[in-house]
Amino acid sequence: MKKINFYEHEIGKNFRDVNKSISSLFLTSGPITRKVEKLVSKRFNKKYCYLTNSWTNGVISLFLSLNLKKEDEVIIPANTFVACANVVEMVGCKLVIADIDKDTKLLSIPDTLKKITKKTKLIMPVHIYGNIFNVSELKRKIRKNIMILEDCAHCFSGKYENRIIGNNSDFSVFSFYATKNITCGEGGAIILNDKNYYDKIKSISNNGMTKPAMKRFENNKYSHWDVTNKGFKANMSDINASLLEKQIRIYNKQTQKRKKIYKYFYNKISNIKSISMPKTNFNVIRDYHLFPIGVNGKFRDKLISYLNKNNIQVTVNYRSITELTYYKKKYKFKCNEGEKWGRQTLSLPFHLKISKKNIDYICSKLKIFFSN
């Protein structure tokens, strides 16, 4: 069997949009970026969208715009990509790690409630694997002045209690990193309704300047700019943005295909007793991004090597952040469910190019592994 990749992107071979962006004068954020922003804000029914060069840099500009203080606390789930913890560290406020739910592997609401203090400023639930976290349920249980940021790196569709993702929180941030369902290599998008934060994010992610490149040369005339915020560089270029439009327009159709593949895979794996899978959350419509499974922690790494030897690429999403050296040393959080899942889980190949034959092959290898 030819190697089964963990991930395959859907960019295709039609580079008409990229060629168009390269033939224009400005390669940086310009008309194509603005067009994609409109498409994203409309899709999620939000007033504003700002495209960034990654989820990570997008969230850093957002956190800087909130003016978070050293003593402010931000709660994240134990099992997520480390960027969720890093952004809190980078702006210098206090990280708080809450455990995950045993069944769904999403942020545990009961543990989050235990970890809320007077200093809690923001909670960052993650719609991990495309399984949607119920933001409305959390919101009903917390103080009004705690902000919510939805980490939408693993989804571009989905609903909780009949609301589209992003529609009962303050901010939502997407990732267009290489392995995501929509990608431009590296990229991100922030959606929000607050004009004040939107203006600040735009300036902060453009070195604190009052005018982006296009505005500085508008109507063939140079005009001065000022710096009104501390800033860095996090804007997306038109070249990257030109890869996104088509993927966004076909996303819903692709999701239906992904769902079919997911169901086929899920049913096949359900027959293997030694394997568990996260449960889809209650009261949500989910998206489909990764295909994680759980096995006895004693065999996990052996299984990874066995699958690799059989030309099946796998990865781990994710070990608990409480067990990563930097965070273990600095903070003493203990998250039992998260740490257990972090030792048990591995993600199987899952994308639109995977065939039934590939899935059958993966399942047959898993069966052989567990029968020995």
Ligand X SMILES: Cc1ncc(COP(=O)(O)O)c(C=O)c1O
Residues that bind ligand X (CB under 6 A): 54-56, 80-81, 83-84, 126, 151, 153-154, 175, 177, 188
Least CB distance to ligand X at residue 74 (A)? 14
Quote the longest CA-to-CA distance of the chain. 74
Q: Which is nearer to ligand X, 187 or 231 (CB)?
A: 187
How is residue 202 written in tokens? 């735009």
Output the CA angle 147-148-153, nearest 5 degrees: 145
User: In angstroms, how far is CA 327 from the centroid of its own chain?
Assistant: 20
- Measured CA to CA, the distance from residue 164 to residue 40 in angstroms comes to 13
- Strand pairing category for 188-192 and 147-151: unpaired
What is the identity of the amino acid at 160?
Answer: Y
Residue 248, Cβ density class (10 Å: 0-12 exposed, 13-18 middle, ≥19 buried): middle
3-state secondary structure the chain: CCCECCCCCCCCCCCHHHHHHHHCCCCCCCHHHHHHHHHHHHHCCCCEEEEECCHHHHHHHHHHHHCCCCCCEEEEECCCCCHHHHHHHHHCCEEEEECECCCCCCECHHHHHHHCCCCEEEECCECHHHCCCCHHHHHHHCCCCCEEEEECCCCCCCEECCEECCCCCCEEEEECCCCCCCCCCCCEEEEECCHHHHHHHHHHCECCECCCHHHHCHHHCCCCCCECCCCCECECCHHHHCCHHHHHHCHHHHHHHHHHHHHHHHHHHHCCCCCECCCCCCCEECCCCCEEEECCCCCHHHHHHHHHHCCECCECCCCCHHHCHHHHHHCCCCCHHHHHHHHHEEEECCCCCCCHHHHHHHHHHHHHHHHC
CB of 153 to ligand X, least distance (A): 3
Q: How far is the CB of 81 from ligand X (least distance, A)?
A: 3
Q: For residues 29 and 54, which CB has a smaller minimum distance to ligand X in the complex?
A: 54
